[in-house]
Amino acid sequence: MATMKIESFSADWIETPCDALVVAADEDWRARQEIQQLSTATQGWLSRLLESGEISTKPNKVTVLLGPPQIASPLLAIVGTGSRTSGLNNIHFRAASAAMKTICTRKRGTVRLVGLGASPLELRAAVAGSMVGCVGQDLFRAEKSLIEPDLIEWVGVSDPQLRAGQTIGESINITRRLVNLPPNYLYPETFENEARAVAVDCGLSIEVWDKAKLEQERCGALLGVARGSVRDPRIIILRYQGSSPDAEPLALVGKGVTFDSGGYSIKPTDGMLTMKCDMAGAATVLGILNAAAKLRAKRNIVGVLGLVENLISGDAFKLGDVLTARSGKTIEIHNTDAEGRLVLADCLNVALDQKPSQIVDFATLTGACVVALGTEVAGLMTNNSKLQSEIQSFSERCGEHTWPLPMHSFYTEQIAGKVADIKNVGEGRWGGAITAAKFLEEFVAETPWAHLDIAGPAFYDSPKPWADAGGSGVLVRSFAEWLLA
């Protein structure tokens, strides 16, 4: 996949010309070597601006200064990173992204960044953030609101950290682009094409189950959801081998509902408008696999993507229908807008065939999770405390927040069926994110499994200081770091 050019820079970063110079400043800016160098070069001009408060050091605040004296760049951008003791582990990712989002509203040749991060984790995050900030959601606008520069130069970043950060940023942008594609461009068949392109680029093996194969494999839950669309569904199986052939793989499973109307439990217009994002789980898995393969993670990984459209037609599945999942379990349909868990039911069963050591699924599954945790935090539900601890630890280290929700056995009672084995929703509105997870738990047997409900953070309804609206690529970076550890 083509990406913007990114290089390390080791010459005099103040006196060597570039089109824009970005420098980080925290609350303790007087102790920052880069700020003192700039202040000396400008004969105290920069320090006076910081002292006066004309330049903010608050997180993600970007101050653009034109024609700075004694500096070879015609534009100087100071980006705030707040307090060094704030504990915000995503601060350098967001600061780099915010700076690029601010200055890339017009074409720039070379942008040089200085002072963003110190540890390897922070440096990789900052490099990835610089790639995210200059890419917008306006894929089909003739006049782009954000324009990638020709070259991003990094001062004080070693080549290994630079290349790792670049790969992670590229992988986030793969996920974001897929989420941002409109549903008439991205549907199961074209998602397959996108997955094939990623597989070829980074050396994954790919297996595609078309409708005939899905019928042969008795994937009745997924096929039930797909019945309302003229576009045939897919299951895509991607494999990466980073360890010995006999080592048990990690299975990553992604919900890929490329458009969700809600079916006969139809969504209102406002709720349906952004439902192109309902494939974010599958896009997240593809982004993680791209990063893992290019960073040569020392694990075997299998990705299972379930791709369907949930639409309405004379053949669409109905309330009261009973579907038989691939596992043989029967499911009463009480709500056709609770379709993602049906898709995942068959995908999880396919993942079990791979004899994985662990399964992690990603899905924009429930509005209930957004009500519970808001738009910045993903719900984390699991049958294994060790896996929960690992995921939460790495996501917190990267500043991509996950939060565990309880999985007590009594929640299972709410999905007990009267006509079939189980039903696809719980009792009433309460605990909807948890009862959805308990439904999924029915299809993982005893394998350590975690479910990440990313309905809140996967899609920004409005722009953030550090990113355009649309797909966020959340958790690609955290899982890339986890797999590298």
DSSP state letters, 239-304? EEE-S-TTSPPEEEEEEEEEEE--TTSPPPHHHHTTGGGGGHHHHHHHHHHHHHHHTT-SSEEEEE
- 203 located within any domain: yes
Query: What's residue 1's pLDDT?
Result: 44
Residue 306 parent element (H or E): strand 300-310
Tokens at 119, concatenated: 């540890």
Q: Do residues 103 and 217 share a domain?
A: no
* Structural Rg of the chain based on CA atoms: 23
Per-residue pLDDT of the chain (485 residues; tens, 9 = 90+): 446 899 999 999 999 999 999 999 999 999 999 999 999 999 999 999 999 999 999 999 999 999 999 999 999 999 999 987 665 679 999 999 999 999 999 999 999 999 999 999 999 999 999 999 999 999 999 999 999 999 999 999 999 999 999 999 999 999 999 999 999 999 999 999 999 999 999 999 999 999 999 999 999 999 999 999 999 999 999 999 999 999 999 999 999 999 999 999 999 999 999 999 999 999 999 999 999 999 999 999 999 999 999 999 999 999 999 999 999 999 999 999 999 999 999 999 999 999 999 999 999 999 999 999 999 999 999 999 999 999 999 999 999 999 999 999 999 999 999 999 999 999 988 999 999 999 999 999 999 999 999 999 999 999 999 999 999 999 999 999 999 98
Please give the distance of CA 33 from its chain centroid, rounded to a whole number: 34
The model carries a pTM of: 0.97
Residue 108 catalytic? no
Q: Do residues 190 and 81 share a domain?
A: no
Tokens at 198, concatenated: 């990623």
- 93 located within any domain: yes
- 65 located within any domain: yes
Q: Give Cα separations from 233 to 158, 308, 331, 452 (angstroms).
A: 44, 5, 20, 23
Cβ-based neighbours of 268, under 8 Å, separated by 6 or more: none
Count of CB atoms within 10 A of residue 389's CB?
Answer: 12
Alpha helices in 318-450 (DSSP H): 340-352, 367-373, 385-397, 432-441
- 171 located within any domain: no
Cβ-based neighbours of 150, under 8 Å, separated by 6 or more: 4, 5, 108, 109, 110
Cβ-based neighbours of 409, under 8 Å, separated by 6 or more: none
Q: Is the dihedral of CA 125, 186, 274, 302 positive or negative?
A: negative
SS3 339: coil
CATH number, domain containing residue 92? 3.40.220.10
Q: Do residues 468 and 336 share a domain?
A: yes
Q: Do 405 and 433 contact (CB within 8 A), yes or no?
A: yes
Count of CB atoms within 10 A of residue 197's CB?
Answer: 12
**Backbone region of residue 310 per phi and psi (left: phi > 0; alpha: psi in -120 to 50; beta: other values):** beta
Number of domains in the chain: 2
Q: Do residues 239 and 147 share a domain?
A: no
Query: What's residue 421's pLDDT?
Result: 98
- 173 located within any domain: no
The three-point CA angle 300-449-459 to 5° equals 90
CATH number, domain containing residue 436? 3.40.630.10
Tokens at 103, concatenated: 């200055």
Exposure on the CB side of residue 91, measured as CA atoms within 13 A: 23
Q: Give Cα separations from 371 to 366, 368, 375, 379, 480 (angstroms).
A: 9, 5, 9, 11, 28
The catalytic position among 267, 299, 318, 464 is 267
Give the separation between CA 463 and CA 470, rounded to whole angstroms.
8
- 113 located within any domain: yes
Q: Do residues 153 and 249 share a domain?
A: no
Q: What residues make up the domain containing 373?
A: 178-484
Q: Do residues 292 and 382 share a domain?
A: yes
Burial of 297 (0-12, 13-18, 19+ CB in 10 A): buried
Q: Do residues 147 and 183 share a domain?
A: no
Q: Do residues 138 and 281 share a domain?
A: no
Q: Do residues 150 and 182 share a domain?
A: no
- 355 located within any domain: yes
Give the separation between CA 476 and CA 483, rounded to whole angstroms.
11
Give the separation between CA 395 and CA 283, rounded to whole angstroms.
18
Which pairing describes strands 378-382 and 449-453: parallel, antiparallel, or unpaired?
antiparallel
Q: Do 424 and 342 contact (CB within 8 A), yes or no?
A: yes
Q: Do residues 118 and 182 share a domain?
A: no
Q: Do residues 479 and 388 share a domain?
A: yes
Give the separation between CA 444 and CA 348, rounded to whole angstroms.
6
Give the separation between CA 356 and CA 350, rounded to whole angstroms.
11
Q: Do 346 and 306 contact (CB within 8 A), yes or no?
A: yes
Tokens at 172, concatenated: 């986030």
- 24 located within any domain: yes
Facing residues of 358 across strands?
Answer: 250
Residue 267 catalytic? yes
**Backbone region of residue 248 per phi and psi (left: phi > 0; alpha: psi in -120 to 50; beta: other values):** beta
Tokens at 427, concatenated: 């009792």
For residue 467, give the nearest of 21, 99, 77 by alpha carbon: 99
Q: Do residues 31 and 129 share a domain?
A: yes
**Hey, what amino acid is at 7?**
E
Question: Residue written as tokens 């959340």?
Answer: 474
Query: What's residue 88's pLDDT?
Result: 65
The catalytic position among 341, 423, 438, 477 is 341
